[in-house]
Amino acid sequence: MTETLTTTEKPAHTRRMILNMGPQHPSTHGVLRVLLELEGETVMKCTPDIGFLHTGIEKQCEALNWQQVITLTDRVDYLANLSNNLCYSLAVEKLLEMEIPPKAQWMRVLLCELTRINSHLVWLGTHALDIGAMTVFFLCFREREDILRIFEMFSGQRLMTSYIRVGGLALDPPRGWEKRVKTFMDTLPSRVDEYESLLNTNPIWLKRTKGVGLLPVEEMLEIGMTGPCIRAAGIPMDARKMMPYSSYDKFNFDVPTSTDNDVYARYAVRVAEIRESIKIVNQAMAGMPEGPVQAAAPHVVLPDREKMKTQMESLIYHFKIVTEGFSVPAGEVFQVIESPRGELAYYVVSDGTAKPLRVHMRTPSFGNLQALPNLIEDRMIADSIAIMGSLDFVLGDCDR
Amino acid sequence: MLPENLKENAVAASLEHLVLTGNTDHNELTLELVPEKILGALRILKEQRFERLASVTVVDRYPMEPRFEVVYHLQSVSRNLYVRLKCRISGEKPEIDSATAVYASANWYEREVWDLFGVVFTNHPNLTRIMMPDFWEGHPLRRDYPVHGYKYSYQNE
């Protein structure tokens, strides 16, 4: 985990200082430890030290039934729970060769876009706070609260939703959800204008973000960066467009890109993505299909409570799913989706039993964080805070 | 030998002399090769505009032998393709060449695999633990490692 930094063999006139940043530093957004080797205010060497939030989720997945793993996927990336639910569900559904009803697919898109807005709002608030713009933080968290209330309305949980399940959704959408989401969507565009009015002309913000955090785009791809960071470097890499899942091909939206490749460009791309997400949510609400939200697969989807109590067959299925789970045909699937942070992929391997043989999460934060030394070495220490914030990593997502 | 249905596939055909077998289950191209050939295959794929190595991981098929499957997922952004490469290595002496010579992003993924599975990547620049603490013994993601670990057991309570 740690690497010992050798500080001997230095010329006498340079004095290098080793600064230990984290794991409780507020701008590391979680429990990241970064060892910085400084010469004056210049970072000469940077060594990220991760693993403080490693909770063995991949190991636990192997001990649980297929449907129980959903609850663990929530805990991988606690700002994009529904994206993780969706990615795992899609992977298992692919192995089961299961058809998902259109209403469930559209609801999934709607919820994942709300998740994206939620995640970007938290990112914008905390990133602006790191750089010293405090007001934005309060405004972003005001809107985030609305989204969490919507999630609570759907699933009963603000954070650990587990609402997207294998075979569809956990429950029918609650009564009155359209009004709630619509009210929020009507106010959000003006709120995004408000954030931009606070930042886009703010001289401190511009000085700290423009021209900071540059890296050649080939190097970014090579080191494994994805998501808004790579789109801010001019590559329109977005799994929603490149390999559409869950009916994303039926929605009309753009992939915002920029070619500036600095911290400001990453901010601009994310704000533009919030606006695109608003467009997608509005389209999903306008064209929401009718019908069930769960696939007609009684051996996988838990039966309705009422049916379970009155029909023999449903009772048997319920008993079988709850006690031994359902088995998934042997095979392997690498399911890629676009999480708010970038390419999220679940590599799920089944050996034909009721428990996964292997669930590997290729998480965007792990890939993005690997680029940290390339981004902040030979730059000023104050810039390192802005650069770290611009990567938008979540340590739960990174360490798993 | 490449199966008949893969001969049409341009990516699979370019690796024909290296590949043992392959399939396109669930529309995902999987190619299996002997561990010694992995660097050669990665180099060929990189020339074919597979710009990024998305992940390196291992599937432990214990108690089968060879037990470890080292799995590489590569993406070509410009061609919008994914390919999966797979090498089986034995549990006796789990060793494979490090992909860091071809793709820089393999660095952390291989450290993670070494940490959690104990598969050694030769010529890796810094093969140290990344998830578990430095003093940790054993490799927790192996199938024969108990979920609750060795130290704390519910059965002994």
DSSP codes of every residue in A271-296: HHHHHHHHHHHHHHHHTPPPS-SB-S
- Beta strand B68-76 pairing with B52-60: antiparallel
pLDDT at A299: 86
Q: How confident is the model at residue A182 (pLDDT cuts 50, 70, 90)?
A: very high
Average pLDDT over residues B42-58: 89
**If you measure CA to CA, which chain B residue comes closest to A238?**
B77
Domain ranges of chain A: 57-399
B17-48 pLDDT tens trace: 787 788 888 888 898 898 888 898 899 888 88
pLDDT at A21: 83
Q: How confident is the model at residue B120 (pLDDT cuts 50, 70, 90)?
A: very high
pLDDT at A87: 93
pLDDT at A192: 92
Does the pLDDT value for residue A360 go beyond 60? yes
- d(C-alpha A195, C-alpha B99), whole Å: 43
pLDDT at A278: 93
B58-107 pLDDT tens trace: 999 888 888 899 999 999 888 888 999 999 998 888 889 999 989 988 99
A223-232 pLDDT tens trace: 888 989 999 9
- d(C-alpha B21, C-alpha B1), whole Å: 6
**Would the CB atoms of B134 and A1 count as touching at under 8 Å?**
yes
Q: How far is CA B41 from CA A140, B7, B15, in A?
A: 47, 17, 7
- d(C-alpha B125, C-alpha B49), whole Å: 25
Does the pLDDT value for residue A4 go beyond 70? no
Residue A35, CB half-sphere, CA atoms under 13 Å: how many? 13
Report the candidate in B57, B91, B61 with the shortest Cα–Cα distance to residue B71: B57
B10 or B38: which carries more pLDDT confidence?
A: B38
Note which residues in 207-226 of chain A have CB less than 8 A from chain B: 218-219, 221-224
- d(C-alpha B142, C-alpha B117), whole Å: 6
Out of B25, B30, B147, name the one closest to residue A60 (CB): B147
Q: How confident is the model at residue A14 (pLDDT cuts 50, 70, 90)?
A: low
The 3-state secondary structure of B37-74 reads HHHHHHHHHHHCCCCEEEEEEEEECCCCCCCEEEEEEE
Does the pLDDT value for residue A25 go beyond 90? no
**If you measure CA to CA, which chain A residue comes closest to B129?**
A1
pLDDT at A356: 92
- Residue A292 sits at φ, ψ, to 5 deg, of -75, 165
Q: Which residue has 């942070």 as its token pair?
A: A341
**Would the CB atoms of A237 and B129 count as touching at under 8 Å?**
no
The fraction of chain B above a pLDDT of 90, given in percent, is 24
Q: Which residue has 């956990």 as its token pair?
A: A170
Q: How far is CA A242 from CA A33, A179, A220, A238, A343, in A?
A: 35, 32, 19, 6, 11
Average pLDDT over residues A1-8: 52
The amino acid occupying position A52 is: F
Does the pLDDT value for residue A120 go beyond 80? yes
In angstroms, the separation between the Cα of residue B134 and the nearest Cα of chain A is 6
Q: How far is CA A330 from CA A89, A165, A359, B25, in A?
A: 16, 20, 13, 11
Q: How far is CA A91 from CA A86, A108, A336, B56, B91, in A?
A: 9, 14, 9, 18, 28
pLDDT at A121: 93
Note which residues in 358-387 of chain A have CB less than 8 A from chain B: 358, 360, 362, 366-367, 370
> In the 8-state DSSP scheme, what is residue A132?
T
Note which residues in 81-110 of chain B have CB less than 8 A from chain A: 82, 84, 103-105, 107-108
- The predicted model scores a pTM of 0.90
**Token pair recorded at residue A286:** 């306008």
Residue A343 contacts B, CB cutoff 8 Å: yes
Give me the domains of chain B, ranges plus CATH numbers.
4-156 (3.30.460.80)
pLDDT at A295: 87
Does the pLDDT value for residue A161 go beyond 70? yes
Q: What is the largest CA-CA distance in chain A?
A: 84
Does residue B66 have a cis peptide bond before it, meaning omega lies within 30 degrees of 0? yes
In angstroms, the separation between the Cα of residue A157 and the nearest Cα of chain B is 28
A160: helix, coil or strand?
coil
Find the radius of gyration of the CA atoms of chain B.
17
Q: Assess contact for A237 and A231: CB atoms under 8 A.
A: yes
Q: Which of A54, A61, A92, A400 to mutate to test the interface with B (most CBs of B within 10 A)?
A: A54
Instruction: Please provide the distance, in angstroms rounded to a whole number, between the alpha carbons at the two ends of chain A.
Output: 15
**Would the CB atoms of A1 and B80 count as touching at under 8 Å?**
no
Partners of residue A222 in chain B, C-beta under 8 Å:
51-52, 103-105
Fold classification of A57-399 (topology level): Cytochrome-c3 Hydrogenase; chain B (1.10.645)
Q: Which residue has 């009422």 as its token pair?
A: A306
Instruction: Report the side by side order of strands in the sheet with B68-76.
Output: B19-23, B30-33, B81-89, B68-76, B52-60
pLDDT at A246: 87
